[in-house]
Structure 1
Amino acid sequence: MSVDTQQAPPRLDTDELRTLDAHWRAANYLAVGQIYLMANPLLTEPLRPEHVKPRLLGHWGTSPGLNLVYTHLNRVIKARDLNALCVWGPGHGGPAVLANSWLEGSYSETYPDVTRDAAGMARLFKQFSFPGGVPSHVAPETPGSIHEGGELGYALSHAYGAALDNPDLLVACVIGDGEAETGPLAASWHSNKFLDPVHDGAVLPILHLNGYKIANPAVLARLPEPELDELLRGYGHDPIQVTGDDPDAVHHTLAEAFDTALDRIAALQRAAREEGATERPRWPVIVLRTPKGWTGPAEVDGLPVAGTWRAHQVPLAAVRDNPEHLRELEAWLRSYRPEELFDADGRPRPDVLACVPDGTRRLGATPHANGGLLLRDLPLPDLDTYAVPVDKPGATRHEPTRVLGDLLQDVMAATAGRRDFRLVGPDETASNRLQAVYEATGKAWQARTLQVDEHLDRHGRVMEILSEHTCQGWLEGYLLTGRHGLFSCYEAFAHIVDSMVNQHIKWLRVTRRLPWRAPIASLNYLLTSHVWRQDHNGFSHQDPGFVDHILNKSPEAVRVYFPPDANTLLSVADHALRSRDYVNVVVAGKQPCFDWITMDQARVHCARGAGVWEWAGTEDGTREPDVVLACAGDVPTQEVLAAAQLLRRHLPDLAVRVVNVVDIARLMPAGEHPHGMSDFEYDGLFTTDKPVVFAYHGYPWLIHRLAYRRTGHRHLHVRGYKEIGTTTTPFDMVVRNDLDRYRLVMDVIDRVPGLAVRAAGVRQRMEDARLRHHDWIRTHGTDLPEVADWFWGG
């Protein structure tokens, strides 16, 4: 549907048009004031250079369009008594969202010192992009926001995540034309194939096209309207086009567009919920074309500004030093007629607030944007129900993620009525051995189905799309609005969302310092199909570096776990799913691995984070160990235990201590991470002067980085993944990277004083075993029988 702003019949009466325009002008005035002013907020005296900030920061270009959308959202929310949330994709539009939050009163309720009067307006202006103030983006500090917006691409997936299992919620999502060019945003248009019109809310995308990005034309803005229509229809939407630069005409047509879109949404939901319709809905999308920097300076220094890329940031850049710029800024501000919008005390006049809804219906006051207020504890079952029996270490094997899948199945079943838990992943739920969840719920799917399809369910709560970005965005939106979830992913491809998790961690770090932001459920990753068991897919699937990336981030918000078997995975998962305000990364294999410790032992060991496995070593309690064999990760743990067994057999007089690390942050000093060990603890576990041979799941340099301040660091030798991979056998992967049991025994001999001579024969036998392995796999295509059939026998 295309709306001609010059011919559309008026849908607003005179009073509505006047009050909407007053609100929009007030928001525009406040947006400009935030970018420029630090004093004289109501222009009660002529503007002077000292009223202007010394550093001008912020973005004007998108702000008038966002103010227009906020104004009209207010209108329909109030008229229809809607429960609504808005995701503001153009994060550079911070001035607009802050302005509207202040106008509606939610900002002053959140920050009582920023009162809704002249003094509060002055504070609002000065604090924007000012030391000790607030950022220029729609940041965590902004009431009503769940989306930072500094990095583009994620608005629409966040919006859909917020709508999932929120049947009474309307999520409006403003997508800037720059953001519309990103890959993550392009993939997230397909989220409408997963939105259940019965149990989920509605998402109303608003594609805001103002023609330009920072310095270049925007692709979608330059498409002819019919071509853009075809694109959006191809995505499964019914577009409603609104184009114009005359304020009165655009107010009429945008109001008509919102009414049309919301009527369609109501009809689609009614058809699904009351009439049993099963056809996939074609949801509306509004395409709003307005000039960039609309209502701002038309020309500066002889160059066109409004309607061009020059309006993107600060149109008048030399206000303090250039009298002409100062004059133009004052004329610009006065063009909004602030005396009509604010009374003598700086309070918004009744016309300005006529369209603003009340209470929690205000966009800045919705509890859905402060999800911790709505969060309920997840009903997690007793772990003993799922624990694997361990009569003695290493006697049985299980697939850890399959065991976890049984627990997740029951979590899904327990939340069936309340619908506040989702499992997301890129087409890997069954591949990662979590398919037991399908007994409780299917895979969300609204598109066409075939007889050969399995587990597709219009009301399912497993979300699979082959876009890690979209999975991440869905889950973030879901968590930020007060629910729980888990992201299962192949380890190597978690890197695809490196940048997204950066933003989420930054969000968590800031919100921890905002007392009004309630804690939300943690973002939990299960990374499986990991580097050591991607022998079949090869080098492209072998990368354990996501944890390195995570551990560079705010220590208060990140946790990384390497459970070595099924019971420890259950314990770690239980802890992660109960936690708040963290990003938890759990790395665990899906292939059969040995069961090392009982459930009770696993609880204690995981709570400790790192500890001695006395049953695996040969310490007798009368002297310090000669060497420490440490491990983190399931395959490294097996190789360390195999090495310990070889040492017990070949060097029985050697005192070997085996240390298993589950919580990798335990290696850090206590002052650097909340889970870090004191020097006293670390030295007691690893000693201060004995060689430590550490078999680590990932890149070995990480362990050195975490432990470099420790007294015994110069005695620490780490084996891990060295970026050597291919399609080969499982054991050959560890041999190629010098993480194998034979190499570990050689490392011990090389580092324990006196062993180089005394155990030269043992070392030679270890080297011979590696050579024998090399020849065997090239002849037989399988690992050596002594490796393939190995088990822990003490």
Structure 2
Amino acid sequence: MPGEVIDRPNPEPKPSHVPDQVLSLSVDVKKQTLPEDANAALKEFRRAACYIAAAMIFLRDNVLLERDLTFDDVKPRLLGHWGTCPGLILVYSHLNYLIQKHNMDMIYVVGPGHGAPAILASLWLEGSMGKFYPEFSRNKQGLHNLITKFSVTGGPPSHINAETPGAIHEGGELGYALGVSFGAVMDKPDLVVACIVGDGEAETGPTATAWHGYKYIDPAESGAVLPIIHVNGFKISERTIYGCMDDKELTALFTGYGYQPRFVKDLEDIDADLGNSLEWALSEIRRIQQAARSGKPIMKPQWPVLILRTPKGWSGPKKVDGKFIEGSFHSHQVPLMKAKTDPGQLRDLQTWLQSYGPHDLFQEDGTPVKHILDIIPSPEEKKMGQLKDTYDPYVGITVPNWMQLGVEKGTEESSMKQCGKLMDKAFQANPHSLRIFSPDELESNKLSAVFEHTNRNFQWDQFSNARGGRVIEILSEHCCQGFMQGYTLTGRTALFPSYESFLGIIHTMMVQYAKFGKMANETTWRKPIGSLNYIETSTWTRQEHNGFSHQNPSFIGAVLNLKPTAARVYLPPDANCFLSTLAHCLRSKNYVNLMVGSKQPSAVFLSPKEAEAHCRAGASIWEFTSTDKGLNPDVVLVGIGAELTFEVVKAAELLREMVPELRVRVVNVTDLMVLGTEGTHPHALTDDDFDSLFTSDRAVHFNYHGYATELKGLLFARSSVHRITVEGYREEGSTTTPFDMVLANHVSRYHVMEYALRGAAKINERVRVRLVPLLAELKHRIRKTSDYILKEGKDPEGTYELGMINGSGGGGVMYEG
């Protein structure tokens, strides 16, 4: 009947209309039987790991079944995901064997991150859990601790995370494993990343685009990713798309992507099938790499991909209460949910666990039998849980002296043009440990100076192929983020510049990464790594050729919500400050750095030395545009963001002409985190320092680049917050002139002047008596300026002229209407 879930074991996909010739494009190599000792060791490793994984989900005691199970032996809360575990363990065992045979460096990236029991069990067997966590040593007590503490308070979580040895990928949100894997192998020519992509994860947009990641891998300079698609047919409660595609359809799909697909599905002799397939895949990888490294690269090489078909929940219960478990979605999480209270399910649990023969797999002291240990890689550092690339990889970079690129104070310059020049020098100094990952925006963002001594890296383009380019441009923000994560987590440094409005696309990816970083910092064995570095430009204030869709500064709030140990948000007001900030961020470790700035030429307020001091402080009083160097102000005006700061400086200049009796202090904030309440962030100003900038009793107005609510949240607990007003982006915009944008969002010089007059009138009698006519004059100027822009299609002449940067006083142009 319509809408009914058909409860049946994993059916074969129906035949496809795809021609038989397509199937011949997949690789079908005759299987050779594995050596007898290896065959036995692989099977015993899997039995032991599957036993441990299943026991981790259920048992709180009696972990080696030394007596019959009782209800007291079962955990009160059954948490975990069994369905994917047998497949993950199968692959882990064979990767061990491959590493041992070829003495190679390999990372195992697991897309189905909820299969943590499989990975933790395998890590325990190889001794990696014991290396990093003595309480999980490879003995009877260590095994008891691992099984009984899994997914309980204080124990390993049910998802792979930074506490998992060998992991470089947060196993929470799906879709990112493949992109991370490609980033990890860049500039690491000897590294192979085996990436398991679950058929559920394969349905996500980020994964769909990441299949093209190998087109950005130069086999002469980088390692290789071996994708292994685990097709077990089911998600939590539904069939998967790939699970409903037959071999012909999948062959057509991956051949079209440019891969050589090979199917692994012989359940009668899965070890020979998978073992031979991995050997073939490695030989293809080496063939492609050898050609590239001998100076005769293969244009558009077909990299291998394995498609592994095994039943979901393989080797688990076949049926429970009349429902199919193995080979159906019922095995996805906990197959025996009533094992704590139902005698029949408790018996089923004991039968299931005993089917692995634990007494034949573990010696009396709890250590695995020798056969299992025989296929585990040696030396220690070759084990997938102990490869240094995964936990202590940082190589650092040489950051050029940015002051050599400093711009003369009082001129105009594009911050992005200068940053492009700094990155050009940085690429020359760090040819193998620094990259840019960006959507197709570098030229429009005025960063093209990066191409003075490097190229784009796109292997499918004859003009970019095999030229060692440091820049990868792909229009998938998800791929840029995934590449950057993998590249950074394996020790290198990267930069992600983007249009401001579209960084929000990878908001949750960034958050997942930050969660990984938080937990990594809380371990004792993971070492610091480079920061994630974002540049937001093409901002909402200067969208000359784009419209409302391109106006969205919300990524600032996404970073603000991170843990204070990670979050860093910078809004440098000019080119010199941006150079100083970028140099700092490239050197920093363990942060998520967001830099927001203008690509258009804008005023340079500070000399290089002044910029360095200002950025070091995070905020300072700008004496050159304040009244009497900022002493005894009636009101404090604060600019945060390049264009917003310009409007504040212009407002102060015009106020000096219009209301000379008004005393103004101008403050610029370049490090947003200094505004947080004392003690909430490492950069937060003390209350005394806050008052030294903003006074303790005067009206303060913030002209802020982002959403006003973000800033209000930072300032909420400061004393006398009632005296503070904030204007920011109001979600108003269109394709219009720059000044019309600031008018529409109430952050123009005229709106700043209005706040200044209202605030100063509370304590300055001479301002108060003129307040009403002054405000009327401002409203008149706003209306006349808007009318002019609507009629002429441009901003009034002199809108962006300043006369105060070099201390020359007034003289700026104010539109008279």
TM-score interval, smaller chain? over 0.9
Q: Residue 202 of structure 2: SS of its match in structure 1?
A: helix
Q: For structure 2, which runs of at least 5 residues remain unmatched after alignment?
A: 1-22, 810-817
Answer yes or no: is the 8 Å Cα contact 1:87–1:171 preserved in 2: yes
Deviation at 1:169, TM superposition (A): 0.5
Query: Whole-Å Cα distance in 1 between the matches of residues 572 and 396 of structure 2?
Result: 24
Question: For residue 469 of structure 1, what is the aligned residue in structure 2?
Answer: 478
Question: For residue 210 of structure 1, what is the aligned residue in structure 2?
Answer: 232
Q: Residue 113 of structure 1: SS of its match in structure 2?
A: helix
Question: For residue 611 of structure 1, what is the aligned residue in structure 2?
Answer: 620
Q: What's the CA shift string for 1:542-586, capped at 9, x where partnerless? A: 001111111011111110000000110011111111110000000
Query: Whole-Å Cα distance in 2 between the matches of residues 648 and 790 of structure 1?
Result: 13
Deviation at 1:620, TM superposition (A): 5.8
Answer yes or no: is the 8 Å Cα contact 2:652–2:664 preserved in 1: yes
2:699 equivalent to 1:691: yes
2:218 equivalent to 1:199: no
After TM superposition, list the pairs within 5 Å mapping 1:398-409 onto structure 2: 398-409=413-424
Answer yes or no: is the 8 Å Cα contact 2:28–2:262 preserved in 1: no
After TM superposition, list the pairs within 5 Å mapping 1:191-590 onto structure 2: 191-246=213-268, 249-358=269-378, 359-370=380-391, 373-390=392-409, 395-416=410-431, 419-449=432-462, 458-590=467-599
Residue identity over aligned pairs, in percent, reads: 43
Query: Whole-Å Cα distance in 2 between the matches of residues 111 and 79 of structure 1?
Result: 28
Question: For residue 702 of structure 1, what is the aligned residue in structure 2?
Answer: 710
2:685 equivalent to 1:677: yes
Answer yes or no: is the 8 Å Cα contact 2:416–2:446 preserved in 1: yes
Q: Residue 585 of structure 1: SS of its match in structure 2?
A: strand
Partner AA of 2:713 in structure 1: R
Q: 2:798 aligns with which of 765, 786, 789?
A: 786
Deviation at 1:673, TM superposition (A): 1.1
Q: 1:187 aligns with which of 206, 209, 230?
A: 209
Q: What's the CA shift string for 1:495-548, capped at 9, x where partnerless? A: 000000000111111111101000100000011111101132010000011111
Q: Residue 91 of structure 1: SS of its match in structure 2?
A: coil
Q: Residue 114 of structure 2: SS of its match in structure 1?
A: helix
Query: Whole-Å Cα distance in 1 between the matches of residues 509 and 542 of structure 2?
Result: 26
Partner AA of 1:56 in structure 2: L
The number of residues matched between the two structures is 779
Answer yes or no: is the 8 Å Cα contact 1:4–1:243 preserved in 2: no
Query: Whole-Å Cα distance in 1 between the matches of residues 751 and 344 of structure 2?
Result: 75
Answer yes or no: is the 8 Å Cα contact 2:439–2:476 preserved in 1: yes
2:664 equivalent to 1:662: no
Query: Whole-Å Cα distance in 2 between the matches of residues 166 and 767 of structure 1?
Result: 61
2:753 equivalent to 1:745: yes
Q: Residue 769 of structure 2: SS of its match in structure 1?
A: helix
Deviation at 1:790, TM superposition (A): 4.7
Partner AA of 1:90 in structure 2: P
Query: Whole-Å Cα distance in 2 between the matches of residues 387 and 751 of structure 1?
Result: 37
Answer yes or no: is the 8 Å Cα contact 1:85–1:170 preserved in 2: yes
Partner AA of 2:387 in structure 1: T
Q: What's the CA shift string for 1:660-712, capped at 9, x where partnerless? A: 00111111112211111111111221122211111001111111111011112
Query: Whole-Å Cα distance in 2 between the matches of residues 557 and 277 of structure 1?
Result: 41
Query: Whole-Å Cα distance in 1 between the matches of residues 564 and 629 of structure 2?
Result: 37
Deviation at 1:2, TM superposition (A): 8.3
Q: Residue 205 of structure 1: SS of its match in structure 2?
A: strand
Q: Residue 282 of structure 2: SS of its match in structure 1?
A: helix
Partner AA of 1:214 in structure 2: I
Partner AA of 2:131 in structure 1: E
Q: Residue 115 of structure 2: SS of its match in structure 1?
A: helix
Query: Whole-Å Cα distance in 2 between the matches of residues 108 and 270 of structure 1?
Result: 38
Answer yes or no: is the 8 Å Cα contact 2:336–2:349 preserved in 1: yes
Query: Whole-Å Cα distance in 2 between the matches of residues 46 and 348 of structure 1?
Result: 22
Q: Residue 767 of structure 1: SS of its match in structure 2?
A: helix
Partner AA of 1:724 in structure 2: E
Output the aligned Cα RMSD.
Answer: 1.7
The structure-2 alpha-carbon separation of the partners of 1:676 and 1:682, relative to structure 1 and needing over 3 Å to count, comes to: same
Question: For residue 123 of structure 1, what is the aligned residue in structure 2?
Answer: 145
2:639 equivalent to 1:628: no
Q: 1:134 aligns with which of 156, 160, 180?
A: 156
Answer yes or no: is the 8 Å Cα contact 1:535–1:733 preserved in 2: no
Partner AA of 2:361 in structure 1: L
Query: Whole-Å Cα distance in 2 between the matches of residues 698 and 6 of structure 1?
Result: 57
Question: For residue 4 of structure 2, what is the aligned residue in structure 1?
Answer: none
2:78 equivalent to 1:56: yes
Q: 2:97 aligns with which of 75, 92, 99?
A: 75
Answer yes or no: is the 8 Å Cα contact 1:3–1:241 preserved in 2: no
Answer yes or no: is the 8 Å Cα contact 2:31–2:276 preserved in 1: no
Deviation at 1:131, TM superposition (A): 0.4
Deviation at 1:791, TM superposition (A): 4.8
Q: What's the CA shift string for 1:68-102, capped at 9, x where partnerless? A: 00001011111111111111110011001101110
Query: Whole-Å Cα distance in 2 between the matches of residues 597 and 481 of structure 1?
Result: 37
Greater mean deviation of Cα atoms: 767-776 or 76-85: 767-776
Partner AA of 1:366 in structure 2: L
TM-score, normalised by the number of residues in structure 2: 0.93
The structure-2 alpha-carbon separation of the partners of 1:376 and 1:483, relative to structure 1 and needing over 3 Å to count, comes to: same
Q: What's the CA shift string for 1:447-486, capped at 9, x where partnerless? A: 143xxx6x66642110110000000000000000000110
Question: For residue 763 of structure 1, what is the aligned residue in structure 2?
Answer: 775
The structure-2 alpha-carbon separation of the partners of 1:456 and 1:790, relative to structure 1 and needing over 3 Å to count, comes to: farther
Query: Whole-Å Cα distance in 1 between the matches of residues 466 and 102 of structure 2?
Result: 32
Question: For residue 176 of structure 1, what is the aligned residue in structure 2?
Answer: 198
2:734 equivalent to 1:726: yes
Q: What's the CA shift string for 1:167-187, capped at 9, x where partnerless? A: 000111000011000000000
Answer yes or no: is the 8 Å Cα contact 2:732–2:745 preserved in 1: yes
Query: Whole-Å Cα distance in 2 between the matches of residues 196 and 507 of structure 1?
Result: 28
Q: For structure 1, which runs of at least 5 residues remain unmatched after alignment?
A: none
Answer yes or no: is the 8 Å Cα contact 1:2–1:240 preserved in 2: no
Greater mean deviation of Cα atoms: 692-701 or 457-466: 457-466
Query: Whole-Å Cα distance in 2 between the matches of residues 282 and 201 of structure 1?
Result: 15
Answer yes or no: is the 8 Å Cα contact 1:445–1:458 preserved in 2: no
Query: Whole-Å Cα distance in 1 between the matches of residues 563 and 180 of structure 2?
Result: 22
Query: Whole-Å Cα distance in 2 between the matches of residues 398 and 694 of structure 1?
Result: 25
TM-score, normalised by the number of residues in structure 1: 0.96
2:177 equivalent to 1:152: no
Query: Whole-Å Cα distance in 1 between the matches of residues 467 and 174 of structure 2?
Result: 30
Deviation at 1:47, TM superposition (A): 1.2
Query: Whole-Å Cα distance in 1 between the matches of residues 275 and 465 of structure 2?
Result: 38
Q: Residue 694 of structure 1: SS of its match in structure 2?
A: strand
Q: Residue 787 of structure 1: SS of its match in structure 2?
A: coil
